[in-house]
Structure 1
């Protein structure tokens, strides 16, 4: 065998060896991308399943709700920014969800976080601009119609009053919405 041929065989062998030896070294980029996608999907699912968790508006000091004489009150200033705030009231084994917002016409409105059509899905509404959007069917409802229009897929109205710069929700009115949040199987 000539020296040139030996050198060629040796370099071919070295090339193959290098390919085989590097086969175990994988590029970690696809794994990192997959991990990021899984984490993002889990976070998105969490926001979808737990709608109150992504609602802005943790009350500032002095704006925390107070309960007295069968009423729950909130500082009206808490809603000045027009963002819907979601709340819950525990009534025995039923948790009643509702939201309060200042609509685009400047009126503070309240509604159960459910409707006559989609309530069984238990998904409620989120805000998109001046609309409340059903998380189940995707329908948009103008904020000015919250607490005005009832029935169908509109957010079910919740009575509220404004007294001395406080939004007042009566516990008795909250309890009227129990049926929207009773997900126990019927016997």
Structure 2
């Protein structure tokens, strides 16, 4: 079986078995290079919005809190949730608060309330993203554009302190 004409000289020099190995390695190297370039892994900057979290508004129409995670470049996993409250507003908050965060337990939803899994305090979903401090879910800035909920990665990373358990509890 003949190789492509432009690789004919390689086959003559290396032989047919070496040529196949060379082509496989070449293709693999090209694949690695492309994935590194696309992921920004070679130091090329990617779009500032590439790491932003976006969700269709329709994903929250059932009024149930959806929990998400975001991994920071230094390996810390930040947890947050988005919920459409009973007043029709889509809200977002970190899955932590100023008081109970060292326990790392977060919140669960019971009806129209978010409940702290550590102390049991209940918070009406209509207050999420409006009230901060104490055991309230820590607010997370979100925007709605073109039927998309957009949470900037820089805003998510502001909640890193609630999930950095180095030397702490969890």
Contact between 2:49 and 2:152, CA under 8 Å: does it hold in 1?
Answer: no
Q: Which residue of 2 aligns with 1:79?
A: 60
User: Which string of whole-angstrom CA distances, capped at 9 and with x for unpartnered residues, describes residues 45-90 of structure 1?
Assistant: xxxxxxxxxxxxxxxxxxxxxx944421000000000000000000
Residue 183 of structure 1: SS of its match in structure 2?
A: coil
Q: Which residue of 2 aligns with 1:121?
A: 103
Q: Please report how far the alpha carbon of residue 93 of structure 1 lies from its aligned counterpart in structure 2 after TM superposition.
A: 1.8
Query: How does 1:152-171 map onto structure 2 within 5 Å?
Result: 152-171=134-153
**RMSD after superposition:** 1.3
Separation in 2 of the partners of 1:69 and 1:185? 32
Contact between 2:63 and 2:84, CA under 8 Å: does it hold in 1?
Answer: yes
> What runs of 5+ residues in structure 2 fail to find an aligned partner?
1-47
Following TM superposition, where does structure 1 have runs of at least 4 consecutive aligned residues deviating by more than 3 angstroms?
67-70
Larger Rg: 1
Aligned length: 120
Q: Which residue of 2 aligns with 1:179?
A: 161
Structure 1 residue 95 and structure 2 residue 72: aligned? no
Q: Which residue of 1 aligns with 2:44?
A: none
User: Which string of whole-angstrom CA distances, capped at 9 and with x for unpartnered residues, describes residues 114-168 of structure 1?
Assistant: 0000000000000000000000000000000000000000000000000000000
Query: How does 1:1-187 map onto structure 2 within 5 Å?
Result: 68-91=49-72, 92-185=74-167
Q: Which residue of 2 aligns with 1:44?
A: none
TM-score by length of 2: 0.69
Separation in 2 of the partners of 1:167 and 1:89? 15
